[in-house]
Structure 1
Amino acid sequence: MRRRTRLSHLPLNALRAFEATARHLSFTRAGLELRVTQAAVSQHVKVLEDRLGVQLFRRLPRGVALTDEGQLLLPSIVEAFGRLTETLNRFEDGHYQEVIAVGVVGTFASGWLLPRLDAFRKAYPRIDLRLFTNNNRIDIAGEGLDYAIRFGDGLWHGTEATHLMGAPFTPFCAPSLARRLSRPADLKREVLLRSYRQEEWPRWFAAAGLQSPVLKGMVFDSSITIASVAARGFGVALLPAALFQDEIRQRRLVRPFQIEVALGDYWITSLHFRRPTPAMLSFKSWLLETIAATKRSPGKQAGT
């Protein structure tokens, strides 16, 4: 029985020669890239083939072609070199740059997190934070995320959820539209902008002591889009006031009534089996501490 080949026994130069030759399908061009002779590349590949006990290339009159075995080996070699390069690139000035990937529901990203990212960067310059926005539908494992910041009840299968902040919803509209609203029942005459969560307006009307009208018209998958449509005077939006402070301060949106309804909270979630890295712990601690500081000083500006 043939002895198994250990990865530690495979020479790095032979693996590099194989990968370069597979890309160029030429020993000569691979040699030019690696700054060695064509004969040296060919010899490195031959060493690898001998170690593995298979032929990786078919030698042709002009160039080479991968064998079935070579095609099977290539993706793993490319991935390994890619991961090695990415890791080495994280070292800067003698320090290691840690990467964390965070999926964020778009409303929280634009209304709270993005204005404070510069403060995080200054506090943790060695963390490479990568953000991916979504409409609250996300697969942490499938998308390779370390964390996901979500809106809801905190109950997502297979995840550990830590509460970030409440965000009760209340009606908002353009100032021109607000002038014709004197009592909550007046909303029944207006266009009520809706999200894919169909229970939002009925629950708000119930909190106001009213029967909800029949809802119809366009449906949006983002509170950001709904807010933009409302600011243009096309209808009334139900939004979390805490995440649209800029629009409120600039009076692009006004709040005709003070009645609020809790439809969910914001949570930071991670997979149960995911062991947090130091960078993950730093980001989560910063997030929680910054939110707590904002609650203590509501008027405090982002990044200060």
Structure 2
Amino acid sequence: MYTKDNIFTRNQRINSFQLSKLHTFEVAARHASFSLAAEELAMTPSAISHRINKLEQELGIALFHRTHRKIALTEEGERIYHSLTRSLNELNQEILDVKSGDVSGGLTIYSRPSFAQCWLVPRLYEFNQRYPLIELKLLTGNENINFQGYGIDAAIYFDEGLPDKVWRQEIMSETIIPVCTQQYAQQHQLFNTPENLAKATLLHDNQAWDYNSHHDEWTVWATANQLPSIDHISSIAFDRSDLAVIAAMNHAGVAMGRYNLIKKRLDSGELVTPFPNSEVTCQQKYYLVTPSKKHSRKLALFIEWLMEPLRDNTPKNTPKF
């Protein structure tokens, strides 16, 4: 049935006649039945079977296993069916986007967990109110993702630099400063006395710069403030900056806080900084990254919304203690 002459070669393209047959195939595969496909398409089961046979001959691929009472997709048929349904869904979404001005449908954002939890998520209500037809999906993680095949439209990183092959927008710079509760600072006599940190517990993001940053944040801060090494001080490590801050809010120790992520905690008094004016500017910055500089209308609106609170004349990353 599938001779060398009718195998679909690399240089051939699907034509309009095959597109109609692929639609028939999609319906038959979805129902796993020629009879049900015939009902949906207002055709006879034999016409459905004939059209599928013709498509298999043209492609040189067996799409279905056939028995007396039922059909089932072959392994190759499964691959083509999933690719076809994915393409149809994308086409349907594009049509909806065009009809609605490209501001509806899914938008997937990948972010560093701490930035998502402390900065992005608290603002999502406003985005949803403004663009209710955009279905936002937020994923988090510490690794730099490969955009190919993940369906991610944009990623938000905290990093020193990024590859030239991606489009990037700097969101904001960052400063770090130790924070804890008022109670903890008083209990350990920390106010304006950094040498008393030796009696405290240091809380830090173990993946601040990379997967094994250890207490690098504390080392950078201590060095910049001309303090002794903190290597011997008791510490607790986390894989997220916000978890260190939550631990500090529960009197577990002193966290190395990122100002943009803890500003509300400082303003509310949930946290205090026992060492005013000791903040240190990070080499790392927050970046929004996309695989291409060409953005959909949805993504362009998200980027515009994301940058709005950062466009006034007062730097958001400048602590005032």
**TM-score interval (norm. to shorter):** 0.7 to 0.9
Equivalent positions of 1:142-181 (< 5 A) are 142=148, 143-156=150-163, 158-179=165-186, 180-181=189-190
Q: 2:285 aligns with which of 233, 245, 265?
A: 265
Asked if the contact 2:33/2:70 (under 8 Å) is kept, the reply is yes
Aligned to 2:202: 192
1:224-263 correspondence runs (5 A)? 224-258=242-276, 259-263=278-282
Q: Once the two structures are superposed, what CA deviation does each residue of 1:50-81 show, in whole Å capped at 9, x if it has no partner? A: 54455533432121244565455333323323
Deviation at 1:105, TM superposition (A): 1.6
CA distance in 2, matches of 1:66, 1:245: 56
User: Aligned ranges for residues 36-75 of structure 1 at < 5 Å?
Assistant: 37-52=44-59, 55-67=62-74, 70-71=77-78, 73-75=80-82
Q: Is the contact made by 1:202 and 1:211 (CA closer than 8 Å) also made in structure 2?
A: no
Structure-1 residue corresponding to 2:145: 139
Structure 1 runs not aligned, ≥5 long? 299-304
Alpha-carbon offset, residue 47 of structure 1: 4.1
Structure 1 length normalisation: TM-score? 0.81
Kept in 1, the 8 Å contact 2:108–2:151? The answer is: yes
1:203 aligns with 2:213: no
Change in Cα spacing, 1:151 to 1:58, as seen in structure 2 (3 Å) is closer
1:125 and 1:249 map into 2 onto residues whose CA distance is 31
In 2, Cα distance between equivalents of 1:66 and 1:87: 28
Task: Provide the rounded CA distance (Å) in 1 between the counterparts of 2:305 and 2:76.
Answer: 49
The one-letter code sitting in structure 2 at the alignment partner of 1:292 is: R
8 Å CA contact 2:178, 2:275 repeated in 1: yes
3-state secondary structure, aligned to 1:162: strand
Q: Name the structure 2 match of 1:19.
A: 26
Q: Within the alignment, does 1:109 sit opposite 2:109 as a pair?
A: no
Mark the runs of 5 or more structure 2 residues left unpaired by the alignment: 207-212
How far 1:39 moved relative to its partner? 3.6
Q: Which residue of 2 aligns with 1:290?
A: 309
Q: 1:28 aligns with which of 35, 55, 58?
A: 35
In percent, how many aligned pairs have the same letter? 29
Deviates most, 278-287 or 176-185 = 278-287
1:138-168 alpha-carbon deviations (Å, 9 max, x no partner): 2142444332222122344633433222221
* Counterpart-to-counterpart distance in 2, 1:216 and 1:33: 69
Distance 1:91 1:275 in 2: 16
Structure 2: how far apart are the matches of 1:268 and 1:69?
38
More displaced, 144-153 or 181-190? 144-153
**TM-score by structure 2 length?**
0.77
- Partners of 1:103 and 1:149 within 8 A in 2: yes
- AA at the equivalent of 2:275: F
One-letter code of the match for 2:290? S
